[in-house]
């Protein structure tokens, strides 16, 4: 009997060439699939919630696979986890509804970009792998004013990778929050989906606003122009992390389970129970 298994994982993306399988390159999908195959003893195709770029990290990446293996979830998690490299870990594993799809079922995702904003380098806090060092002072109020122009359903062509044309360049950003934690500035972007390098280009544009190279209201003009050249530079991958993905609660339980899960802020809560 086939079962749909959902994985919640975290990984340090520094030494990976992104999530997606690539010939002769080390990717997150490849190392997890290899570990899963050794446990379930048949071929699997892992479907991920997002294709993170090379160097991008994840605190809550979700994927799923279909298996006929009868191992109970706790033992399966332990067996797969023991076969993963040290820069990947399984936070939770559970059987879910057959209609669950890690990519298509997602309601929203949150990415966090971390900027180490101080004269000294982030290595003094052991953060050099996970933050972008920006030594110049940044005006957070200006950045917040600029970030407001990203919220809503908009054409994000100007924030996409050059030449990265999709069937639709319209995406919905639900919020773009900017907070400071000591020497670290965090930009949290939640949306229903993102274009290739969208969050990193949004960050680069907000950095230009924060350092006074453009006015906050110019962000709206940049979006309307649909020209990538008008936006800021692409922020480095190392500062970006996929924090969580949100799903309809009823898809996070197997079909025979009659109890419907309560609404949750993210899949981490549901999978951890």
**Catalytic residue positions?**
53
Q: Could you please report the per-residue DSSP string of 181-200?
A: ETTEEEEEEEES---TTHHH
Closest Cα partner for 50 from 241, 203, 226?
241
Q: What is the 8-class DSSP label of residue 82?
A: T
Rounded Cα gap, residues 244 and 265, in angstroms? 9
Pairing of strands 57-67, 3-11: antiparallel
Question: DSSP code of 140?
Answer: H
Q: Are strands 132-133 and 47-48 parallel, antiparallel or unpaired?
A: unpaired
Q: How far, CA to CA in Å, does 194 sit from each of 67, 174, 200?
A: 29, 11, 11
Helix (H/G/I), strand (E/B), else coil: 125: helix
The percent helix, strand, coil of the chain (3-state, each to 5) is: 30, 25, 45
Measure the CA–CA gap between 83 and 35, rounded to whole angstroms. Answer: 5
Given CA atoms 16, 186, 47, 43 in this order, what sign does their dihedral have? positive
């Amino acid at each position: 009997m086939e079962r749909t298994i959902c994985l919640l994982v975290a990984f340090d993306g520094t030494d990976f060439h992104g999530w997606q399988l690539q010939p002769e390159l080390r990717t997150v999908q490849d190392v997890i699939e290899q570990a899963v195959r050794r446990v379930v003893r048949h071929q699997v195709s892992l479907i991920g919630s997002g294709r993170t770029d090379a160097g991008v990290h994840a605190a809550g990446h979700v994927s799923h696979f279909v298996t006929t293996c009868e191992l109970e979830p706790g033992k399966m998690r332990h067996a797969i986890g023991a076969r993963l490299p040290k820069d990947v870990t399984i936070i939770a594993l559970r059987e879910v509804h057959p209609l669950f799809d890690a990519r298509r079922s997602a309601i929203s995702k949150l990415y966090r970009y971390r900027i180490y904003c101080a004269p000294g380098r982030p290595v003094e806090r052991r953060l050099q792998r996970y933050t972008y060092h920006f030594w110049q002072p940044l005006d957070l109020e200006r950045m917040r004013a600029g970030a407001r122009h990203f919220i809503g359903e908009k054409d994000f062509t100007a924030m996409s990778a050059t030449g990265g044309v999709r069937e639709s360049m319209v995406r919905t950003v639900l919020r773009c929050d900017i907070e400071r934690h000591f020497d670290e500035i965090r930009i949290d972007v939640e949306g229903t989906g993102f274009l290739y390098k969208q969050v990193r280009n949004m960050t680069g544009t907000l950095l230009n606003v924060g350092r006074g190279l453009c006015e906050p209201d110019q962000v709206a003009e940049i979006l309307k122009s649909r020209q990538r050249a008008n936006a800021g530079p692409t922020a480095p991958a190392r500062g970006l992390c996929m924090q969580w993905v949100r799903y309809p609660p009823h898809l996070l339980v197997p079909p025979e389970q009659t109890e419907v899960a309560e609404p949750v802020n993210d899949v981490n809560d549901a999978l951890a129970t």
